[in-house]
């Protein structure tokens, strides 16, 4: 186990580049990591992945050289604990709206007395090959803790959220943010874009890495890079398949004409 690998990526690179995974086949994670993505976002909020399938994705990603982060279904220590035992490099907490919620998220990732995490590391201590003393010395920092800001209240409270010790990064969820403003699906509405800019500006001022998921087009990517993005996630595997398969089909049909 390479404790703190994702943190080291942020310290050594100008931009960390990732993509999303939510299908069951861990070969997808192995392939995407092999292509060269720095980090894979393994989806547990909007997917039907179970914990065993999530484990396989984490193993595949890490074995192929990528970091693995898991977006949790909710900010609940009961849901957080079993995911941490699978030894992802990080976790994403959805719908963080207040500093108190951020504190709760961080506490779920730390052992007492600093937090409330229960002891039962399984893969996190390499199945017991790392003794408990050595494991506990780095365990609290092993998990890169990402808070997702995806509600107008989270934007309003971003400064206090960033003050919480243990918040390692912030990711913006622009769709639910737009929904909280009554704008869904118009995520590029100027009001929504202004909310996104507020989050990025606060993070840049505090030196906290901030990122977002984006379609792979130059206009969108340049907007977020100019805002100060330190990491970007592009597409789910279904998007890559759809775009590649559609492009090839249109190419061949064009030749037939």
Active-site amino acid positions: 46
Q: How far apart are CA 209 and CA 170, in angstroms?
A: 6
Q: How far apart are CA 38 and CA 243, in angstroms?
A: 21
Local structure of 37: helix, strand or coil: coil
Task: Give the bridge partners for 231, in sequence order.
Answer: 16, 211
Which own/partner pairs from 223-227 qualify as long-range (CB within 8 Å, at least 24 positions apart)?
223/193, 224/200, 225/15, 227/196, 227/197, 227/200, 227/201
- Sign of the CA dihedral with 115 first, then 118, 119, and 122 last: negative
CB atoms within 10 A of CB 48: 10
- Per DSSP (E only), the strands in 163-246 are 169-172, 210-213, 231-236
- Per DSSP (E only), the strands in 27-89 are 39-43, 67-71
State the helix-helix crossing angle for 218-227 and 190-206, rounded to 10 degrees.
40
């Amino acid at each position: 186990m390479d404790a703190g690998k994702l943190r080291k990526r942020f310290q050594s690179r100008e931009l960390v580049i990732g993509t999303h995974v939510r299908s069951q086949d861990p070969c997808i994670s192995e392939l995407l990591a092999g292509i060269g993505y720095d980090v894979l976002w393994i989806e547990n909020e909007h997917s039907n992945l179970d914990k065993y399938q999530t484990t396989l994705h984490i193993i595949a990603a890490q074995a192929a050289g990528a970091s693995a982060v898991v977006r949790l279904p909710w900010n609940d220590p009961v849901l957080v604990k079993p995911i941490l035992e699978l030894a992802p490099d990080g976790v994403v907490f959805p719908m963080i709206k207040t500093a108190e919620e951020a504190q709760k998220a961080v506490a779920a990732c730390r052992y007492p007395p600093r937090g409330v995490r229960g002891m039962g590391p399984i893969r996190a201590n390499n199945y017991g090959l790392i003794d408990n003393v050595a494991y506990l010395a780095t365990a609290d920092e092993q998990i890169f803790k990402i808070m997702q800001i995806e509600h107008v209240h989270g934007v309003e409270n971003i400064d206090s959220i960033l003050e919480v010790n243990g918040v390692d990064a912030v990711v913006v969820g622009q769709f639910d943010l737009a929904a909280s403003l009554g704008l869904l699906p118009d995520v590029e509405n100027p009001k929504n874009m202004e909310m996104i800019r507020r989050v990025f500006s606060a993070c840049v001022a505090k030196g906290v890495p901030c990122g977002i998921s984006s379609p792979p087009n130059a206009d969108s990517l340049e907007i977020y890079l100019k805002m100060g993005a330190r990491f970007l996630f592009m597409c789910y595997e279904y998007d890559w398949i759809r775009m590649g398969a559609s492009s090839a089909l249109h190419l061949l049909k064009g030749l037939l004409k």
